[in-house]
Structure 1
């Protein structure tokens, strides 16, 4: 009886049921869209942080660069030997540590022994500025001038002839033609490559380091750097007269890496004249929920260091990714809540209006012996069906909107606050720092991320719950109105 009557009444009021369902559908679709876009924003931010920190890395430990001494020169210095040849090729590499003040390698073990730390590895980041070119010596030429004697010229008979003099010599021609090339080198702990700069990349050609190559003269280079220099597996190149052999080419997993060359840590320490030194310690916590506690422990037990977590780094992300994320989090969520509330209110008002138009019907049913709870159940049942229909339409619209965003994949940029390698080793410095000219390198990490809008099962479950809630709210309001009707009063009213 209940089902037959429900089907008949919904069939009689198709337009009203469709309006209620569409109102709920729009609100639910907006909630799904905002939630999926917000999830995509979080994924994009995770990609940015992982590209800088490394997969599985929870925090980094660095040390701020000490202030330069008074009178000390911070600029680049290149020295070339003088030769007597007219044209001489010259080449030199200037290697500087990058990313703050160097830390003792022993601190890696100390950090790894702290409570809550699962693993810790050290890395040394260098900036290599290569200058090569040639000098061309100029040629000195002297000029001669001539003149004639006047009547006052003294001398014997016939002594009135012309004279000539030699001027100061002048250098003509010569000069210098030099190229400057700057690239970044990361020395990594080859015994544990799951943390650190190389963990953000995948070896697509060749192979990675073995645990036995702790001091081998081998290198893994980034795909972009290999393309620029036309290197391939087996190619050789020199850094400060040390020849390295390319054994692998790495492609970033999530975004463009700013490290060009990866070498074993000991080789990097030799190149940078930083024996037993590292610039960054990468740390993985035993429990991701205790990262802030581990950070406090490290700062307390190892003074003078700066501990940067992924949350700290996320707060420095700017650009369109940050702007869009803030809009999705604040404006988008509040807008979806407002639309959802409006949809619920419209459904409740339309259901109540429908009850008012069915006064004689409900009055007759009560006169025939229907109790108020049965009338209320009938109204709630109709509203629940409307809510489920609206939920189905809303889920379909929300999935369509999320699929459209994923198909378009709008590009967002993420940029970290600029620092300099001559300054503090705070956020944004260290491995992952950008390249600049010689001297103090400007760290500018600008990454381009494609936005996706994944829809999780949790979001679908939320949509179903909202559909049921919308139906219950509308049904409860309309059922309350219907239950208050008195048969005698209802029958006296005319539609």
Structure 2
């Protein structure tokens, strides 16, 4: 009886049912679209942060560089040999640790032992400034004056007919090349600066090459220097052989040259030192707890999570993400609330037009709960139809965004330290870098489940309001409405 009556009533009032269903559908579709775009924003931000950290890295541990002492200079200086030849080629490399203050390698083990830490790997970031060029000595020439002229002589006031010698010509021409070097723990390459790139030519380090004089260079740096696999080059007098070319997964490479950690420590005169400790948590949902654990047990360090880095990302990606989070979500909530209210009012209005019908049913013996169940059942069907239409519209909108793939820019700005990341811990990032990322709108099963829940909720709200009004009707009302 319930099903037959339900089908007949919905068929008789198709327009009203369709209006209610479409109102709910628009609200649900907007929720799906906003949630999908927000998920796409999160994925895009993840790609940006991955270019800074590396695959699987949840946080980094660094230490801020201490202020230089009064009268000391930490800037680069170059000393060249003075030679008598007219044109002498000079070359010098200045190697400095980059980022925050160097940490003892033993801290890597201490960080790895903290509660909630799955793995910890140390890395050393260096900056190499190479000055290469030549001096050209000038030539001394004496000038002579006319026979009638006399010139003031030296301090004794003596005069001389000849002029003082003057240096003519000479000068210097030098090229300055600055690039970044990262020392990689070759036994744990799944974390650290090299984890952001993939080897596109040659091979990566092996676990036995802890002290080998080999290097992996970024694709952009290899192109600018015309390096290939097998090319040998020098850093501060030490010759290294290129064994691989690395291409970053997204954006530009933040490191030009990768060396085994021990080689980088020797090169930078930083034995048993690291500048950054890359940390992977056992549970990605407990990152903030792990951060507090490390900070409380290892004093003087700066722990930077991906959430901290996200605040440094600017550009259209950041702007669009803020809009989707604030305006988009509040707009979807407002539209959904309006859809629920309209559905409830339309259902209540439909009940008021069915006074004679419900009054007669009560006169025939229908209890109030059965009348209420009938109204709620009709509203639930309207809600489910609206949910199905809303899911279809939401999926279509999300697919359209993915198909169009609008380009968003993300600017990774320098945060003040030479290391780039907050606290100076980022490997090799010294200035702002702009990335371009295509936006997608993935729809998850959670979003679909949310849409179904909203459809059921909308039907229940509308049915509850209409059912409450129907339950208050008396059989006498039906008699008064008979003409």
Query: Normalised by the size of structure 2, how large is the TM-score?
Result: 0.90
Aligned length: 473
Give 1:142 shift: 3.3
Partners in 2 of 1:188 and 1:463 — Cα distance? 47
Q: Secondary structure at the match of 2:216?
A: strand
Query: Structure 1, residues 187-227: CA drift from partner, whole Å, max 9, x if none?
Result: 01101111111112221221110011001111111122222
Say whether 1:9 aligns with 2:6: no
Partners in 2 of 1:43 and 1:294 — Cα distance? 23
Q: Indicate if the aligned counterparts of 1:416 and 1:428 stay in contact, CA closer than 8 A.
A: no
Q: Indicate if the aligned counterparts of 2:407 and 2:436 stay in contact, CA closer than 8 A.
A: no
Partners in 2 of 1:260 and 1:168 — Cα distance? 52
Partners in 2 of 1:199 and 1:426 — Cα distance? 16
Partners in 1 of 2:188 and 2:242 — Cα distance? 20
Q: Indicate if the aligned counterparts of 1:385 and 1:471 stay in contact, CA closer than 8 A.
A: yes
Q: Which residue of 1 aligns with 2:105?
A: 105
Q: Which residue of 2 aligns with 1:30?
A: 30
Query: Structure 1, residues 104-142: CA drift from partner, whole Å, max 9, x if none?
Result: 222222333334333222111001112222333333333
Say whether 1:259 aligns with 2:255: yes
Q: Secondary structure at the match of 1:70?
A: coil
Partners in 2 of 1:476 and 1:72 — Cα distance? 78
Q: Which residue of 1 aligns with 2:407?
A: 410
Q: Which residue of 2 aligns with 1:486?
A: 474
Decide whether aligned partners of structure 1 residues 56 and 367 sit closer, same or farther in structure 2, where only a CA change above 3 A counts: same
Give 1:27 shift: 0.8
Q: Indicate if the aligned counterparts of 2:63 and 2:423 stay in contact, CA closer than 8 A.
A: no
Decide whether aligned partners of structure 1 residues 97 and 370 sit closer, same or farther in structure 2, where only a CA change above 3 A counts: same
Decide whether aligned partners of structure 1 residues 42 and 60 sit closer, same or farther in structure 2, where only a CA change above 3 A counts: same
Q: Secondary structure at the match of 1:471?
A: helix
Q: Indicate if the aligned counterparts of 2:64 and 2:424 stay in contact, CA closer than 8 A.
A: no
Q: Which residue of 2 aligns with 1:154?
A: none
Decide whether aligned partners of structure 1 residues 263 and 386 sit closer, same or farther in structure 2, where only a CA change above 3 A counts: same
Partners in 1 of 2:251 and 2:68 — Cα distance? 35
Which runs of no fewer than 5 residues in structure 2 stay unpaired? Answer: 150-159
Partners in 1 of 2:119 and 2:476 — Cα distance? 80
Partner of residue 448 from structure 2, selected from 442, 460, 463: 460
Give 1:417 shift: 5.2
Partners in 2 of 1:255 and 1:75 — Cα distance? 30
Give 1:445 shift: 5.4
More displaced, 280-289 or 243-252?
Answer: 280-289
Q: Please list, as runs of the form range in 1=range in 2, the aligned pairs for 1:412-431 lying within 5 A after superposition.
A: 412-416=409-413, 418-421=415-418, 427=422, 429-431=424-426
Say whether 1:374 aligns with 2:370: yes
Partners in 1 of 2:165 and 2:51 — Cα distance? 61
RMSD: 2.6
Partners in 2 of 1:466 and 1:27 — Cα distance? 9
Q: Which residue of 1 aligns with 2:156?
A: none
Q: Which residue of 1 aligns with 2:89?
A: 89
Q: Indicate if the aligned counterparts of 1:428 and 1:445 stay in contact, CA closer than 8 A.
A: no
Q: Which residue of 1 aligns with 2:385?
A: 389
Q: Which residue of 1 aligns with 2:72?
A: 72
Q: Indicate if the aligned counterparts of 1:57 and 1:283 stay in contact, CA closer than 8 A.
A: yes
Query: Structure 1, residues 217-270: CA drift from partner, whole Å, max 9, x if none?
Result: 111111222222222222222211212111111222244331111110111111
Give 1:338 shift: 1.5
Partners in 1 of 2:113 and 2:475 — Cα distance? 80
Q: Which residue of 2 aligns with 1:208?
A: 204
Partner of residue 449 from structure 1, selected from 423, 437, 458: 437
Say whether 1:273 aligns with 2:269: yes
Give 1:457 shift: 0.1
Q: Secondary structure at the match of 1:195?
A: coil
Partners in 1 of 2:145 and 2:314 — Cα distance? 70
Partners in 2 of 1:417 and 1:79 — Cα distance? 31
More displaced, 169-178 or 19-28?
Answer: 169-178
Decide whether aligned partners of structure 1 residues 467 and 289 sit closer, same or farther in structure 2, where only a CA change above 3 A counts: closer
Q: Indicate if the aligned counterparts of 1:412 and 1:451 stay in contact, CA closer than 8 A.
A: no
Partners in 2 of 1:186 and 1:416 — Cα distance? 20
Q: Indicate if the aligned counterparts of 2:52 and 2:427 stay in contact, CA closer than 8 A.
A: yes
Decide whether aligned partners of structure 1 residues 268 and 58 sit closer, same or farther in structure 2, where only a CA change above 3 A counts: same
Q: Which residue of 2 aligns with 1:440?
A: none
Give 1:13 shift: 2.3
Q: Indicate if the aligned counterparts of 1:124 and 1:280 stay in contact, CA closer than 8 A.
A: yes
Decide whether aligned partners of structure 1 residues 348 and 302 sit closer, same or farther in structure 2, where only a CA change above 3 A counts: closer
Give 1:290 shift: 4.1
Q: Which residue of 1 aligns with 2:429?
A: 434
More displaced, 362-371 or 190-199?
Answer: 362-371
Say whether 1:282 aligns with 2:270: no
Partner of residue 236 from structure 1, selected from 208, 211, 232: 232
Q: Indicate if the aligned counterparts of 1:52 and 1:432 stay in contact, CA closer than 8 A.
A: yes
Query: Structure 1, residues 343-379: CA drift from partner, whole Å, max 9, x if none?
Result: 0000111111122222233334444444433333332
Which runs of no fewer than 5 residues in structure 1 stay unpaired? Answer: 150-163, 436-442
Q: Which residue of 2 aligns with 1:438?
A: none
Q: Indicate if the aligned counterparts of 2:215 and 2:242 stay in contact, CA closer than 8 A.
A: yes
Partners in 2 of 1:84 and 1:15 — Cα distance? 101
Q: Indicate if the aligned counterparts of 2:362 and 2:368 stay in contact, CA closer than 8 A.
A: yes
More displaced, 223-232 or 213-222?
Answer: 223-232
Partners in 1 of 2:139 and 2:98 — Cα distance? 42
